[in-house]
Amino acid sequence: MTGRRGVVDRLGRGGRRPAVSGPGKHLVHNHVRMTVYPFRMSRFSPLEWPVIRQLRTGDRTGRSSAVQSQHTRDLTARTATADRVVQSICPYCAVGCGQKVYVKDERVIQIEGDPDSPISRGRLCPKGSASEQLVNSPGRQTQMLYRAPGASEWQPLELDTAIDMIADRFLESRRRGWQDADEDGRPLRRTMGIASLGGATLDNEENYLIKKLFTAAGAVQIENQARI
């Protein structure tokens, strides 16, 4: 029949399958080259055979210790070697999931969910689970960078210098946008040159200080992402 191979085609014209002997024996049949490697159970101890291992370890369903290799059994969790554990809060969204930060030699080695947290009860989203990279990533910026207007390159700055530059620009924007009174002479005493948009990761204490600072500066355009 067209499209189907007969028994003779599958077995060869002699009616028998070509004999294969010895490890790595090459077999050429119907223009297909195959290399046959016999499986040797002799390199495994009989006690390590899957069925025997299931019976020996009590893992009758083969879903626990019976399917673990020696390499897997020799592994040690990073948390087991930590010097101390610090309770913290995930720095991402406004949910505020609890985290357990494992520290060794003053370096963060692992971050896991805190089961004592009434909010997350030990759970973390993928971003929270990977937040260890925020500390140890080789791409993390550890120095203040500044790009001047019109420039194409970033230049490093000392932190004190950067804070002074921010303060100068803050005061200048406040001065240029200042309004003492409206058209009818009613007092305003406010600046329209400054606005604040807080992020959802700000906690209550930080929002309190931001509100106090901007109110003292005369700013009235204060908003937060969490409410939007």
Q: What is the pLDDT of residue 92?
A: 84
pLDDT < 50 regions, the chain: none
pLDDT of residue 228: 61
Q: Which CATH superfamily is domain 78-136 in?
A: ADC-like domains (2.20.25.90)
Which residues 6+ apart lie within 8 Å of 195 measured at CB? 219, 221, 222, 223
Q: What is the pLDDT of residues 143-177, one digit of tens each?
A: 999 999 999 999 999 999 999 999 999 999 999 99
- pTM greater than 0.75: no
C-alpha to C-alpha distances, 76 to 41, 71, 79, 81, 115, nearest whole angstrom: 29, 10, 8, 8, 21
Give domain limits for the chain: 18-75, 78-136, 177-224
pLDDT digits (tens, 9 = 90+) for 180-191: 999 999 999 999
Under 8 Å between Cβ of 148 and 156? no
| Gap between the Cα atoms of 177 and 215, Å rounded | 15
